[in-house]
């Protein structure tokens, strides 16, 4: 596991975008796994900038998003569909047929999950997976529990997640209680993974994750310790507790 600590959010976002850009340059038909939430917004902004400056071409890139709220339509401004189009897809030359996001309105959810896994498999699996992390250690919407599922599935959101994501809704009651998420198996099969963490709310979970030499279904992100190509990229705020514990002080590990 490679750990990188950026000075601030902007630097973290530029580094993430540069890693993604390099992978696209090496493999123009890269299969890119994408995340939502506040954390990757700066990365998407940087990728859009590179595209607009003529430095990056998404015409052959294939994307698979990690998750979608169950019961929200693609046109709902709070859906991850809407987020992805407004923050990224509408501003680059990706082909609409190369974009994949689970359908939160699917009548037959099991079939939708099966279809999604099939599409990922047909594309050859994920080459590069971008991840954020929940305050409770979730990745995608794989929530802490007694077991973690490997394939795409409908999941109940944890109370911590509902609380954390309430900021995107008018009230906590409006946060969907369920979501469709790719499973941990799909994430772990990605050839390369970048985990982003930003801000002080993530400092506790990042210290927990990076200090432990154990995996647990109670911290789904801990399974990333078993992956052979993970870059953990944090800003200073998210790395704060980890650095204090590590150095007994508050030093900074540069990138």
Under the rule (CB under 6 A), what is the footprint of ligand GLP?
A: 35-39, 66-67, 132-134, 140-141, 161, 165
Is the CB of 63 or the CB of 161 nearer to ligand GLP?
161
Per annotation, catalytic residue among 100, 103, 117, 136: 136
Cα end-to-end span (Å), the chain: 14
Is the CB of 50 or the CB of 220 nearer to ligand GLP?
220
**Alpha-carbon distance 211 to 213, whole Å?**
7
Helix axes 41-52, 9-26, angle to 10 degrees: 50
Is the CB of 105 or the CB of 166 nearer to ligand GLP?
166
143 an active-site residue? Answer: yes
Taking alpha carbons only, the member of 218, 220, 222, 199 closest to residue 210 is: 222
In our burial notation (b when 16+ CB lie closer than 10 A, e otherwise), range 36-65 reads bbebbbbbbbbbbebbeeeebebeebbbbb
Query: At its nearest, how many Å lie between ligand GLP and the CB of residue 132?
Result: 2
Query: At its nearest, how many Å lie between ligand GLP and the CB of residue 117?
Result: 18
Query: At its nearest, how many Å lie between ligand GLP and the CB of residue 119?
Result: 19
**Alpha-carbon distance 121 to 186, whole Å?**
9
What are the angstrom distances between the C-alpha of 26 and each of 30, 56, 61, 139? 8, 11, 12, 26
Answer whether 32's CB lies under 8 Å from 69's CB. no
Query: At its nearest, how many Å lie between ligand GLP and the CB of residue 153?
Result: 14
Helix (H, G, I), strand (E, B) or coil at 155: strand
Per annotation, catalytic residue among 143, 153, 237, 240: 143
**Residue labelled with tokens 């700066």:** 42
Query: At its nearest, how many Å lie between ligand GLP and the CB of residue 26?
Result: 25
Is the CB of 132 or the CB of 144 nearer to ligand GLP?
132
117 an active-site residue? Answer: no
Per annotation, catalytic residue among 100, 138, 142, 153: 138
Give the pairing type, strands 178-181 and 153-156. Answer: antiparallel
111 an active-site residue? Answer: no
Is the CB of 62 or the CB of 158 nearer to ligand GLP?
158
Per annotation, catalytic residue among 67, 68, 103, 237: 67
91 an active-site residue? Answer: no
What are the angstrom distances between the C-alpha of 101 and each of 62, 79, 93, 217? 11, 11, 17, 25
Residues identified as active-site: 67, 136, 138, 143
């Amino acid at each position: 596991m490679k750990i990188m600590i950026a000075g601030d959010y902007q630097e973290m976002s530029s580094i993430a975008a540069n890693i993604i850009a390099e992978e696209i340059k090496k493999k123009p038909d890269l299969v890119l796994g994408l995340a939502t939430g506040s954390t990757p917004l700066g990365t998407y902004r940087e990728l859009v900038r590179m595209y607009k400056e003529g430095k990056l071409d998404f015409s052959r890139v294939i994307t698979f998003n990690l998750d979608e709220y169950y019961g929200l339509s693609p046109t709902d401004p709070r859906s991850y569909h809407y987020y992805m189009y407004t923050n990224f897809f509408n501003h680059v030359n990706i082909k609409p047929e190369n974009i994949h996001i689970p359908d939160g309105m699917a009548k037959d959810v099991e079939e939708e999950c099966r279809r999604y896994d099939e599409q990922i498999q047909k594309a050859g699996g994920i080459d590069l997976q971008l991840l954020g992390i929940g305050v409770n250690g979730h990745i995608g919407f794989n929530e802490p529990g007694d077991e973690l599922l490997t394939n795409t599935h409908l999941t109940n959101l944890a109370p911590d997640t509902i609380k954390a994501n309430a900021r995107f809704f008018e009230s906590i009651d409006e946060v969907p209680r369920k979501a469709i998420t790719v499973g941990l198996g799909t994430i772990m099969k990605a050839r390369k993974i970048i985990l982003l963490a930003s801000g002080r709310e993530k400092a506790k979970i990042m210290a927990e994750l990076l200090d432990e030499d154990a995996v647990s279904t109670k911290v789904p992100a801990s399974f990333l310790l078993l992956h052979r190509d993970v870059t953990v990229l944090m800003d200073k705020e998210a790395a704060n507790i980890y650095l204090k514990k590590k150095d007994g002080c508050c030093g900074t590990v540069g990138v």
